[in-house]
Amino acid sequence: MQTQPAETRKPVIFSGIQPSGTLTLGNYIGALRNFKLLEDQYDCVYCVVDLHALTVRQEASQLRNRCLSLAATYMAVGLDPDKSLIYCQSHVSAHAELSWILNCFTYMGELQRMTQFKDKSAKHADNINAGLFTYPVLMAADILLYQTNLVPIGADQKQHLEICRDIGQRFNSVYGDVFTIPEAYIGKVGSRVMSLQEPTRKMSKSDPEETFIALLDKPEDIRRKLKRAVTDSEGEIRFDTENKPGVSNLLSIIAALTGESTEKVTADLSGKGYGELKTRVTDCVIATLEPIQAEYTRIMADKAMLQGILDRNALKASNRANRTLDKVKRKVGCAPHGKV
């Protein structure tokens, strides 16, 4: 099979999202809506990382459905599965195989320093398992398998990308240039959407449901959550993230969804009350999410079609991943075998 000359290949972007809970408005504004813009410029790999989700006990049927739901959401926001490689991590065995090999090139001290391990251990004190500890190694395998150039990350993932780079560089120092060493992707950054109840914290799908807007929330749920969103006692609509974080968060959401500046949004609402502000943001959110939800419903109604897309993309992903894995196995001295 012919491959493209190296000089004509598009840079590879890899992103993995866990199918653990629904995606939020913050995920959409901060990342998902910009993914569509990357398809022509980059070779995009979007992985539903269901193996990562197993560090927390899962209800099997729910996890299977969430995997399909997440893939459908990717497509509902506009990603083309023929241009962007959308697949499930567990469908490509090379992820787990490479993770084991990379475990042997990762030091205990590196993993013990991971702040996310410490945080999750505190949250799940009754289930501090080895998978939680070696989670960053599987993440490194995910990224390195595809000779990834760029990884979109948030502030909470910087440590994981750094250890991925360290592992890849350590392997390369022993065996030559086997892995591409990835860089953080800093693209068009969306507004940082904050919690509706604690507006000094980022909106997160792992927080209580009333603190975030889910992409699949019904209009009545969106209205209820935004009506209860924290503001302040001043009554003045002003963009001031330090002194008025709740009001500023709502203004930022309107600006992000309408494409207007926060200054214009603020000026339009000047002299009006918080009720008017919440009505405006509610209308903007519902108008944005309605077409996404309609497309999601259409895709999920044809599970056979969706499964077919994931199966085809898993085969494509496996072919790519196995090229890297086979090279790694040769380098470390794994016994050769004939391909069946």
Q: What does the pLDDT look like over 82-137, one tens digit per residue?
A: 999 999 999 999 999 999 999 999 999 999 888 877 777 777 778 888 988 999 99
User: Is 327 in the active site?
Assistant: no
DSSP β-bridge partners for residue 214: 24
Which ranges of the chain does DSSP label H, i.e. alpha helix? 25-27, 33-35, 50-53, 60-76, 94-103, 108-112, 115-123, 130-145, 158-175, 219-227, 245-258, 262-268, 274-300, 303-332
Q: Topology of domain 209-297, per CATH? A: Tyrosyl-Transfer RNA Synthetase (1.10.240)
User: In this predicted structure, what is the pLDDT of residue 339?
Assistant: 62
Comparing 169 with 122, which gets the higher pLDDT? 169
Closest listed residue to residue 226, CA positions, set 206, 207, 204, 199: 199
Instruction: Provide the 10 A C-beta neighbour count for residue 35.
Output: 21
Question: Residue 84 is which amino acid?
Answer: S
120 noted as active-site residue: yes
Amino acid at 231: T
Please report which confidence band the pLDDT of residue 8 belongs to, taking 50, 70 and 90 as the band edges. low
Distance CA 276, CA 236 (A): 12
pLDDT in tens, 293-311: 999 999 999 999 999 999 9
Q: pLDDT by residue (tens digit) across 28-47?
A: 998 888 888 888 899 999 99
Residue 187: pLDDT band (50, 70, 90) is low
DSSP reduced 3-state for 135: helix
Enumerate the H helices of 236-273 as residue ranges. 245-258, 262-268
Q: Which CA distances in Å does 45 have to 94, 136, 146?
A: 15, 18, 8
pLDDT of residue 47: 97
* pLDDT class of 6 with cuts at 50, 70, 90: very low
- Tell me, rounded to whole angstroms, the distance of Cα 20 from its chain centroid: 11
d(CA 7, CA 286): 44
CATH 1.10.240.10 segments of the chain: 209-297
CATH fold of 6-185+303-332 reads Rossmann fold (3.40.50)
Distance CA 190, CA 282 (A): 19
| Active-site entry in 205, 227, 303, 329 | 205
| Digit-coded pLDDT (tens) for 194-208 | 999 999 998 887 788
* Rounded distance between C-alpha atoms, residue 108 and residue 195, angstroms: 35
| Given 83, 202, 225, 227, the catalytic residue | 202
303 is catalytic: no
Alpha-carbon gap, residue 232 to 190, rounded angstroms: 25
Distance between CA 291 and CA 297 in Å, rounded? 10
**pLDDT (tens digit per residue) in 47-71:** 999 999 998 889 999 999 999 999 9
| pLDDT above 80 (res 280) | yes
DSSP-assigned beta bridge partners for residue 60: none
Q: Is the pLDDT of residue 21 over 80?
A: no
Mean pLDDT of the chain, nearest integer? 91
Candidate list 36, 83, 118, 120, residue with the active-site label: 120
What are the backbone dihedrals phi and psi of residue 13, each rounded to the nearest 5 degrees, phi first? Answer: -110, 130
Assess whether pLDDT exceeds 60 at residue 2: no
- The sign of the dihedral angle between the CA atoms of 118, 120, 125, 126 is negative
- Which of 126-135, 186-195, 244-253, 260-269 is least confident? 186-195
Domain(s) of CATH 3.40.50.620: residues in the chain = 6-185+303-332
